[in-house]
Structure 1
Amino acid sequence: MQRLRLSTEGTGEDRGQVGIGTLIVFIAMVLVAAIAAGVLINTAGFLQSSAQATGEQSSDSTTNRVQVVGVTGDYFTDNSEVGVVNVTVKRAPGAGNVDLDKTTIQWIGPSGSYYQLASGGAEGDPDGRFVVSTVQDNDDSQPVLNDVEDRFKISLDLGSTKDLNRGDPFGEPLPEGETATLRITSPSGGMTTEEVVVPKTLSGESAVTL
């Protein structure tokens, strides 16, 4: 007689094998989800940090700048030209500390465009160097504007042949009736633009407001 073989289909043994396979797939899905979540969290943190840094830099470049209090000219040449321009500055409203030794100045005038660095500041090869002197400084912080009451004077020597101890000269003296533009850029990138206008006559004057 032929023996009949009992079928194991649908028994507990098959169900156990199916359960193990499902568990393996489930664990794999959990691991993939955990890895993906970690990547997303790291990416979100990096983007947040980058956005915060960019925001701070943008804020600094618009607020951390100087404000021009006044501009004068003196040391007139024999041809009635302004030989030295003095720019009195203070910290702009809402600005943090501004180090004038790390500040750059661009002069755009009739004789061309020139870049200057502070005489005691960063190394480089500028067209000239300006000198910073104290007008008002209660805590002896010069050349750093660290208080709203600080007032410092920036002196620019416009190609004078005299030994004025006003920094390294650049360009040429500014004639009567001429104009020039000053762009003062703080270390954080905040820019202040000032127009300089020489009076039509300098006769009889020792210094003038520009």
Structure 2
Amino acid sequence: MDAPSSERLPDRGQVGIGTLIVFIAMVLVAAIAAGVLVNTAGVLQTKSEQTGQEASAQVSNRVQVASAHGNVANDDHVEFVNLTVMRGSGSDDVNLSSATIDWVGPDAARTLVGKNATIESGKYVVDPNGDEFEVTPIQDPGNTVPVLSDQTDRFRITIPAYLLDDDGDGLEAGEEAQVRIVTQHGAITPYRVTVPESLTNKNDVTV
């Protein structure tokens, strides 16, 4: 025979309370786990967006070398290398004073930092030292030098090749140097400077 109802009800109540406690504990654990997962997902999303933006900047925020020429001295070596640069297509503003140039020449490898050319008597005076390149405007409608802020801006980067050479002359005929322009965004523009085989009777050559 079944036990009296008065004996069964307390047992059922205890089982019900235990089940309720376990259920509440499971809900709390699930809620905490969900909160952790949501927070982790948010952090990972933020990091991925930041990484994506940085990667995009490194690809797009670069400069483009429009032309290059060298100043010839004594008919036998290039003293200065001049790069005419512009903002790359789709690039944001590029501050050349915050950029660096990696120079790898026949005699030296060096990293140069940007410097604005000084103005004396209304003219730009270019006189970089061995750890610098200088920036002068060629076409700068907005007067923003050294920041390339418009697609029509053209600035000249002057590299003192004669200070990056063992004999203090510069690049001789037929020599080469590797140049890498690294913007403040980390975007890299490589360029190979190649001196012609003959510099006789020339003051300026394309390199």
What's the TM-score once normalised by structure 2's chain length?
A: 0.86
- Per-residue deviation at 1:112? 2.0
Equivalences for residues 22-171 of structure 1 within 5 A: 22-74=19-71, 76-78=72-74, 80-120=76-116, 128-159=131-162, 169-171=163-165
1:131-158 deviation digits (Å, cap 9, x = unpaired): 1000111111111111111110000112
Secondary structure of the structure 2 residue equivalent to 1:11? helix
Structure in which a larger fraction of residues adopt helix: 2
1:29-73 deviation digits (Å, cap 9, x = unpaired): 000000000000011111111111111111111111100000000
Q: Measure, in 2, the Cα distance between the counterparts of 1:138 and 1:78.
A: 36
- Per-residue deviation at 1:95? 1.1
Q: For 1:131, give the aligned amino acid.
A: E
User: Cα 1:174–1:26, aligned 2, differ >3 Å: closer, same or farther?
Assistant: same
Report the equivalent of 1:180: 177
Residues 115, 127 of structure 1: 8 Å contact kept? no
- Per-residue deviation at 1:78? 2.9
Q: Measure, in 2, the Cα distance between the counterparts of 1:40 and 1:114.
A: 48
Percent identical pairs in the alignment equals: 43
Q: Measure, in 2, the Cα distance between the counterparts of 1:10 and 1:192.
A: 88
User: Superposition RMSD on alpha carbons, in Å?
Assistant: 1.8
- Per-residue deviation at 1:115? 1.1
Which one of the candidate residues 188, 193, 196 is aligned to 2:193?
Answer: 196
Secondary structure of the structure 1 residue equivalent to 2:56? helix
1:60-112 deviation digits (Å, cap 9, x = unpaired): 111111000000001x3336100011000001111111110111101111112
Gaps of 5+ in 2: 117-128
Q: For 1:98, give the aligned amino acid.
A: V
Secondary structure of the structure 1 residue equivalent to 2:73? coil
Secondary structure of the structure 1 residue equivalent to 2:164? coil
Residues 75, 203 of structure 2: 8 Å contact kept? no
Q: Measure, in 1, the Cα distance between the counterparts of 2:178 and 2:164.
A: 15
Residues 107, 164 of structure 2: 8 Å contact kept? no
Q: For 1:209, give the aligned amino acid.
A: T
